[in-house]
Structure 1
Amino acid sequence: MTSCRPAARAVSPRLLLRVGRNVALPVRRVSPLAALALFVLLVVAAVATLSLGRLGIPLADLAGAVTGGAEGKNAFVLERLRGPRLTVAVGTGAALGLSGALFQSVTRNPLGSPDVIGLASGAGAGAAIAALLFPGSVPAGLGALLGAVLAMALVHVSTGTGFRNPARLVIAGIGVAAIGTAITQYVVHAMERDRAAVLAAYVNGSLSARSWDDATTIWLVLLVVAPFTALVSRRLDIGEMGDDIAGALGSEPRGTKTAGVVLAIVLSAGAVVVAGPIAFISLTAPQIAKRLTRVSGPHLMLSALTGALLLVLADLCAQQLPLFDSLPVGIYTMAIGGLYLGRLLVREWRRGVL
């Protein structure tokens, strides 16, 4: 028999979903409504992506095209141009949102995202070095993956305490990010103009000319990693109370943090492989998700939906705003995220965290 009753108010505004006598699953009251709202907005943004503009599929034909009835121009737009691009945007945004939620939960700091601690810059530097030293033989995605892993290793060593000290994590990450950016800019300057232009678009984060192979890659990463994030989610939730309490409750905080960081790096690396280092989605999406619920926890599903929505909206701007035609989508996310990061840094400084 299944029933729902309110949990203790002193803990958080949740329901306990009971299955039999021995199983009780906590459910945040507002999460289903927030998830539904985000999903509806994502569908609206997806429809706009497919239908707006000179090459857009008319709304009257869109449902038939999506269900397999596309012909002529509509088929070309859906199958070659906007369909793969939209699918990659949704998957990449979801992966970045999940990655940011995991990092911020592990560090218990809103600044603990892959952007701030140098993962994206390291990935860009790795792609740049691969393009410069091994043109045509080492894919940019593989170079980005190796660069991201190396950047995280440098941050881990530089802090002296791994990922446990948020302030040191941010400072070390800024240093590693600066090094990665310097390497990338040097390579772009040293390369031939045509190759440098292609590399510059990639390291800024771009969804142009994405294929179904790219969509398959990012969604495969999500399908493989998502079950593990669900398994670690409850332990991360307990970890919000501190390592001592989490250890007393049997959650093994060190192992949980390691698992969370590894999963976050895999998700971010998958996103970088298919779309380049898209900035600030992983920083902002978990914070928006947290404000939708106003309770503690990593908010993994909401962060994924928020990340997908933010990236689809940014890509819609990249495609449809005539003033900034053909700009990489990462430029839009960087502009918005930079403002948000500044606000967040000021708030954390006033609270005495930094």
Structure 2
Amino acid sequence: MKADGLPNAPAGPVSVAPAARPTGLLRVGRVVALPVDGRAVLVVAGLLALLVVAGTATLCLGRLGIPLADLPAAVTGGAEGMDGLVVNRLRGPRLVTAIGAGAAFAVAGTLFQSVTRNPLGSPDVIGVSGGAGAGAATVALLAPATPVSLGALVGAVLAMVVVYLATGTGFRDPGRLVVAGIGVAALTAALTQYVVYAVERDQATVLTAYLNGSLATRSWTDAGTVWALLLVVVPGALFLSRGLTLGEMGDELSTALGAEPRRTRTAAAVLSTALAAGAVTVAGPIAFIALTAPQIARRLAPAPGPRIVVSAVTGATLLVLADLAAQQLPLTDDLPVGIYTMALGGIYLGYLLVREWKKGTL
């Protein structure tokens, strides 16, 4: 931490545990060749199994739950009556949206952390989530007939534009990016709180639920939106992963190895903003998934550079588990899922701050 109290990105790469050696290459056409290590494959397989269990529990538990024996028919479209309603209207879209939004937040977070070379870099800290919340709140106050999700999308993009201009160097300086993002996050938080105070009580209740992050009443349109975004953006993130890995070694060395670190960071920041904005549009600014999922992924499958696939599956699993708790814990009366992720993320953020302080990187 600098003397003036502003965070300073570490000069070197984010430290991680020793990397597992790649055991092969996954080739996509003739252009993309991605290193694959055995530990990462096992981790992804284990997380996917946990995700399937959590998704099954989401559909089967509770008063409206589908009997496990009837679940295959319900999922394949053969169910009618209440089971069909649960899959097609009540819980199916919610589950698919949770998986997509969790993956989008996580990939956005891992890209931002690689760009800033700081484990605290995420859409929550950089101001994207705050801008989305402020955009949603402003629309609710000034244009109530407009969907708050549209306001969230515009707000997230504007927040990132302000950060880009405020740094004076675009996305090229990780330290300036973090500082500008913290300033934008503070300003947008103040605007959001003013709007919540100013709007009518009933409208404020609905807005507050959205601003906490909620997956209730999601539709197949929401699910399709976030998954279409993932299909477009994640391949680009995978393409940038090698350049980001080299960039974590410093600009001079990565340039000597044939990378273009400044251009790569700018492209990664744009992709990360798109993912975060899309996830916020369909689910609200759900806190801390973007911060915690990449860090958990790094510890489960240590390696330099952004862990795109492992982070995506980790984020999806975390959000589905949090939403399962939001739906089924008896004492909470279906609280917004963002309340649970805030609790989880607050604990993890405290641990991360202490760890980085002991290492001398804060």
Deviation at 1:351, TM superposition (A): 2.3
* CA shift digits 1:195-243 (9 cap, x unpaired): 1111111111100000111111111111111221121122112222221
Aligned residue number for residue 183 of structure 1: 191
Map of 1:216-255 to 2, 5 A cutoff? 216-255=224-263
Is contact 2:19-2:302 (8 Å) kept?
A: no
Instruction: Determine whether 1:43 maps to 2:26.
Output: no
1:280 to 285, 288, 294: 288
- Looking at structure 2, the residues matched to 206 and 25 of structure 1 have their Cα atoms a distance apart, in angstroms, of 35
SS in 2 for 1:233: helix
Aligned AA (1:339): I
Q: Distance in 2 between matches of 1:35 and 1:125?
A: 35
Counterpart for residue 314 of structure 1 = 322
- Superposed, 1:326-341 pairs within 5 Å as 326-341=334-349
Partner of 2:9: none
Q: 2-side partners of 1:96 and 1:11: how far apart?
A: 24
TM-score normalised to the size of structure 1?
A: 0.92
CA contact (8 A) 2:170 2:266 kept: no
| 1:32 to 1:18, Cα distance in 2 relative to 1, 3 A | closer
Q: Pick from 144, 151, 160: which aligns with 1:152?
A: 160
Corresponding position: 1:31 with 2:52: no
Q: 1:18 to 1:132 in 2, by over 3 A?
A: closer
Is 1:55 the counterpart of 2:64? The answer is yes
Q: Take 1:278 and 1:170, find their aligned partners in 2: how far apart are those partners? A: 20
1:114 aligns with 2:150: no
Q: What do the CA deviations read for 1:26-62 (whole angstroms, capped 9, x no partner)?
A: 3223111011001000000000000000100011111
2:134 corresponds to = 125
Q: Structure 2: any 5+ residue segments left out of the alignment?
A: 1-17
Moved more, 125-134 or 157-166: 157-166
The 1:246–1:53 alpha-carbon spacing in structure 2 relative to 1, beyond 3 Å, is same
* Residue 312 (structure 2) aligned to one of 304, 313, 325: 304
Indicate the RMSD between aligned Cα atoms, in angstroms.
2.0
Q: What's the offset of the Cα at 1:130?
A: 1.1
Unmatched tracts of structure 1, length 5 or more: 1-9
| Paired letter, 2:297 | A
In the other structure, the counterpart of 2:143 is 134
Alpha-carbon distance between aligned partners in 2 of 1:290 and 1:11, rounded to the nearest angstrom: 10
Taking the aligned partners of 1:108 and 1:167, their CA distance within structure 2 comes to 9
Give the match for residue 214 of structure 2: 206
Q: Which moved more, 1:148-157 or 1:10-19?
A: 10-19
Q: Aligned pair 1:348/2:321, yes or no?
A: no
Shift of 1:311: 0.3
**Fraction of identical pairs, as percent:** 65
Aligned counterparts of 1:104 and 1:236: Cα–Cα separation in 2: 10
- The TM-score, its normalising length taken from structure 2, stands at 0.90
Structure 1 residue 86, shift from structure 2 partner: 0.3
SS in 2 for 1:70: coil
Quick check: 1:144–1:273 contact (8 Å CA) kept in 2?
yes
The separation in 2 between residues aligned to 1:79 and 1:331, in whole angstroms, is 26
**2 CA distance for matches of 1:81 and 1:11?**
42
Secondary structure at the residue paired with 1:26? strand
